[in-house]
Chains A and B, each alone.
Chain A
Amino acid sequence: MSVRDRVYKKVCARANKIVGPILARWPWLNRTIGFTTVKGAL
């Protein structure tokens, strides 16, 4: 697991519990960034 993933798990799990109901309100930036595409090409 990467540094990023470990920090994400540690930080975001608690933050998400604090703001749980508003997670669904955020307009996630889907389809704007191509990291999965780049990752898939590696």
Chain B
Amino acid sequence: MVAQKPTQNEMIDDLLPEEEARFDEFVQRWIGIGLRTGESDRKAAEALVPAMYAADDKPAPKNIVWCESPAAVVRHVTSMPSTDKPAHVDSCQYGQFDANWLSFYSFLYEVVGKRSEALRRDIEPLRPFMAFAEHTSWAHLDADTAWVCGHPSVLHTDAEGNLHHLDGPAIAWPDGWGVYCVRGRVVEPNLVINRKTMPVERALTERNVELRSVIQQLIGWTRILAELKPVVVHDSGNRLIGQLLECEVAGERSRFLKAYCPANEHEVIIRVNPAIQTANEASASTYPVPRGVPFLEGKQLVTGVRL
């Protein structure tokens, strides 16, 4: 359907200062909805279902079935003949996980709508979806049945809002289904479950750089260094440049640079060429510049600027 073009009188070109001042109120409210866990108000959610169907010009479904997790919704729906799983997942709606875009229309309706009847009228059909997000995390609305899932029982994020947890699933539902994540990256559950017994060599030898970083976070540098017992080959005297370490990994003498990373605010260890003799040379080798050229120590070295 192509939206009708608004008239010139209906157009809103800018926000009033008092409207913009309410951004944070709506952002915080919707982040709260998006990260909600625990019991859902099932009666409130069920009362909203007919209005959502009506917004799509469809009659209310005959049944509303509550499922314990999004995976359970998928299992129920795809157990029916001729249901294609990827298409089904794409046709779900995401309750609280729609907070990102619903927050904007909630703000428009409640704040900007005070001076635009046309805007309020246009957004009105989204109101049941906004309320539904407060009580659910996932749903599949088909012609006969609304399959609905409540909030997760567990939801952990890091300071930046990425799903993140080192001691279990970052997000999980009451039936136990969940997703394991490290700083927003989905990882195999066994990496998290077995992190305390995982061989530390894997944190240094994993070929996939992103996965190696995840494994390093899961194992932790304290255990990695405690188990590998490296010797210090060279100490630069500058923690940003760090120390050149040597230890045996998988039967090979290997050298690593241990330095403080100001961007990540923790120490990192990077495997370097075993022929390298100093921490300065090891640090320089992590930048895309030719070897054998002197570097300034300190900030210029760390930022990769050459003499």
Residues of chain A whose beta carbon lies under 8 Å from any beta carbon of chain B: 1-15, 17-23, 25-35, 37-42
A8 to B104, CA, bound (A): 12
Contact residues in B for A39 (Cβ distance below 8 Å): 89, 92, 94
Q: Can you offer 19 A-B residue contacts whose CB atoms are under 8 A?
A: A2-B141, A3-B53, A18-B118, A19-B112, A19-B119, A20-B11, A21-B14, A22-B14, A25-B15, A28-B104, A29-B31, A31-B184, A32-B31, A34-B163, A34-B181, A37-B163, A37-B171, A37-B179, A41-B179
Question: B58–A3 contact, CB under 8 A?
Answer: yes
Question: A7–B162 contact, CB under 8 A?
Answer: no
Question: B12–A42 contact, CB under 8 A?
Answer: no
A9 to B126, CA, bound (A): 11
Contact residues in B for A15 (Cβ distance below 8 Å): 105, 108, 119, 122-123
Q: How many whole Å from B74's CB to the nearest CB in chain A?
A: 5
Contact residues in A for B74 (Cβ distance below 8 Å): 42
A27/B23 contact (C-beta < 8 A), A4-B129, A11-B126, A19-B112 known: yes
Measured CB to CB, the nearest residue on chain B to A41 is B179
Contact residues in B for A6 (Cβ distance below 8 Å): 56
A39 to B3, CA, bound (A): 29
A17/B1 contact (C-beta < 8 A), A31-B162, A35-B97 known: no
Question: B12–A19 contact, CB under 8 A?
Answer: yes
Query: A18 touches which one: B2, B10, B92, B99 (CB < 8 A)?
Result: B10
Question: A41–B186 contact, CB under 8 A?
Answer: yes
Q: How many whole Å from B151's CB to the nearest CB in chain A?
A: 12
Question: A22–B15 contact, CB under 8 A?
Answer: yes
Residues of chain B whose beta carbon lies under 8 Å from any beta carbon of chain A: 1-6, 10-15, 20, 23, 27, 30-31, 34-35, 52-53, 55-56, 58, 70-71, 74, 89-94, 96-101, 103-105, 107-108, 112, 116, 118-119, 122-123, 125-126, 129, 138, 140-141, 155, 157, 160-163, 170-171, 179, 181, 184, 186
A32/B141 contact (C-beta < 8 A), A15-B105, A19-B12, A38-B97 known: no
A31 to B93, CA, bound (A): 18
Contact residues in A for B157 (Cβ distance below 8 Å): 32, 34
Question: A11–B122 contact, CB under 8 A?
Answer: yes
A40 to B20, CA, bound (A): 34
Query: B20 touches which one: A21, A25, A41 (CB < 8 A)?
Result: A25
A12 to B96, CA, bound (A): 18
A34 to B4, CA, bound (A): 33
Question: A33–B35 contact, CB under 8 A?
Answer: yes
A7 to B15, CA, bound (A): 25
Question: A30–B58 contact, CB under 8 A?
Answer: no
A42 to B179, CA, bound (A): 9
A38 to B97, CA, bound (A): 9
Given contacts A22-B14, A35-B98, 15 further A-B contacts (CB under 8 A): A3-B53, A3-B56, A4-B93, A8-B101, A15-B123, A18-B6, A18-B12, A19-B12, A22-B112, A25-B15, A28-B100, A29-B34, A30-B100, A32-B157, A34-B97
A6 to B184, CA, bound (A): 29
A13 to B1, CA, bound (A): 9
